Structure 1
Amino acid sequence: MSLKSRLAADETLCTAWSGVPDALTVEILARQGFDAVTLDMQHGGHHEDSVLRGLGPVLAANKPALVRIPVGRFDMASRALDFGAEAVIAPMVNSVADARLFAAAMKYPPLGERSWGPTYAFPRHSKGDYADWLRDSNDRTMAFAMVETRAALDALDGILDTPGIDGIFLGPSDFSIAWSNGATVNSTLESMMETVASIAERTRKAGKHAAIYVVEPAIAGRVVSMGYRLLAMGSEHALIGLGAKTLLKSVKDSIES
């Protein structure tokens, strides 16, 4: 099943977050228990070549592949789709104008302005013929606009109304910086939680999908109850750190006993 169909069925999905630009590392990550894998070009080390090569092992594991593009690189949104990504996350979409540019890069005419050229995506997905691909792509691919600033919050209704925007992705760390006027970075800042909940509510009311980065696993149940259904987590740094800590503790506990 596609990412979009599973979200439409109201499943809660967990996507791993890859920042190491190496296809072998992505392959290992894709074989873990996550529902999907996201390659991060904004704050992670991924670049065009690593995205091209890294999407292959995710698709080979029969999992949806997502890409977060750098700020304003809507041209890369089209390239990520042509490489085989099923969804693209665009950071710092702070206005309706930003949302329109993003949607235009994500969707074929008449909905958008995406250029034809699924050189890698079509053979990697191996579904139907080119006519099927053209007919189905706009519905199958997903454009997630990130809400991270007060400007984005103010423009939320307009962003949600933009044709071709399929969902909202909340970046809670950046949002906390904006919410506190630069005083703190705290993804679980209590004073913003009512607004975090309202963003999910407004997104779902508009018939769109709500996603969020989960920095603290303990908050996962709370954000799901708010309406968020795509949860991003588990960078290589976090996974290696957690795995090493757990392994070493087990070894030391055994030695001490």
Structure 2
Amino acid sequence: MISEIRNKLAAGEASIGCWLTSASALAAEAMASLGFDWLAVDMEHGAADIESAISIFAAAERHGATPFVRLPSADPYLARRLLDAGAEGLIIPVVESADDFAEFARHCHYPPAGTRGVGLSRANQWGDRFDELVPGFRPFLVPQIETMRGVAEAEAIIGSDLTDAVFIGPYDLSASMGAHGDFSGPEFQEKLDTVLDACRRFGKAPGIHQVGTDLDELRAKIKSGFRFVAYGTDLTAMRDALKGFGDLQK
């Protein structure tokens, strides 16, 4: 499934996924059935642990959605366990240095490209598909640029051969600029443009998270150049659908 996303992005098309902050495999299955390319389990701000993530991976795979994880930190040992559990891609928060990202990525690749341990696991069907899935597997790695320092190092991070796509964290980036949640100012747009320009130069897909479910906003993001977009979350989508209920209480 990961090859389909790589091919899509290489062709200049947008790849749209969804973010999961609950630990619910049922919610994941409902989201995956809508046709998303990928589902990202948020282990930084969400409720999932490894066991619940495995159930979510299975639910996503059932409907052809590629399972990703947004890690809580650049922890290579947690990353290895999640890759063994079946994650095909990792979104790594607060990447501020190409060297640090390269060191993390080394732990995610099998030898000779890296140092990931080789074993029988869910990712290779406990050995049944070892020869097919292990030697050529390359995880889809997405560094998050979400600080002023990360933007300053954007060219080096994005230019790395280890970077498949890059993901802007808009809330954390705005916070690092002293304007929590304010995406309207020219300085914030300037930082976005810096990342977008670097992605164009190096042929990498720029990504961002749209938390709300406004389709016009999603279209605008794609039109502005974003090609790897997380559209909504399971819980915000539910709240968006039901929030009108509050009007009945007035």
TM-score (norm 1): 0.84
1:209 has 2:205 as partner? yes
After the TM superposition, which residues 170-249 of structure 1 pair with which residues of structure 2 at under 5 Å, given as runs? 170-179=168-177, 182-216=178-212, 217=214, 218-245=216-243
SS in 1 for 2:195: helix
CA distance in 1, matches of 2:53, 2:141: 17
TM-score (norm 2): 0.87
Amino acid corresponding to residue 147 of structure 1 in structure 2: I
Following superposition, the deviation at residue 94 of structure 1 comes to: 1.2
Q: What residue in structure 2 maps to residue 255 of structure 1?
A: none
After the TM superposition, which residues 97-108 of structure 1 pair with which residues of structure 2 at under 5 Å, given as runs? 97-108=99-110
Identity %: 26
SS in 2 for 1:42: coil
CA distance in 1, matches of 2:120, 2:158: 27
Q: What residue in structure 1 maps to residue 29 of structure 2?
A: 27
Amino acid corresponding to residue 185 of structure 1 in structure 2: G
Following superposition, the deviation at residue 183 of structure 1 comes to: 3.4
CA distance in 1, matches of 2:169, 2:192: 10
CA distance in 2, matches of 1:28, 1:63: 11
SS in 1 for 2:242: helix
Q: What residue in structure 2 maps to residue 77 of structure 1?
A: 79
Q: What residue in structure 1 maps to residue 131 of structure 2?
A: 131
Following superposition, the deviation at residue 91 of structure 1 comes to: 0.3
Amino acid corresponding to residue 194 of structure 1 in structure 2: E
Count of aligned pairs between the two proteins = 244
Contact 2:70–2:90, Cα closer than 8 Å, also in 1: yes
Contact 2:172–2:180, Cα closer than 8 Å, also in 1: no
Amino acid corresponding to residue 170 of structure 1 in structure 2: I
Task: Report the CA distance shift for 1:189/1:49 in structure 2 as closer, same or farther (over 3 A).
Answer: farther
Amino acid corresponding to residue 133 of structure 2 in structure 1: W
CA distance in 2, matches of 1:31, 1:17: 14
- Give structure 2 stretches of 5+ with no counterpart: none
Following superposition, the deviation at residue 219 of structure 1 comes to: 3.7
1:156 has 2:187 as partner? no
CA distance in 2, matches of 1:226, 1:110: 38
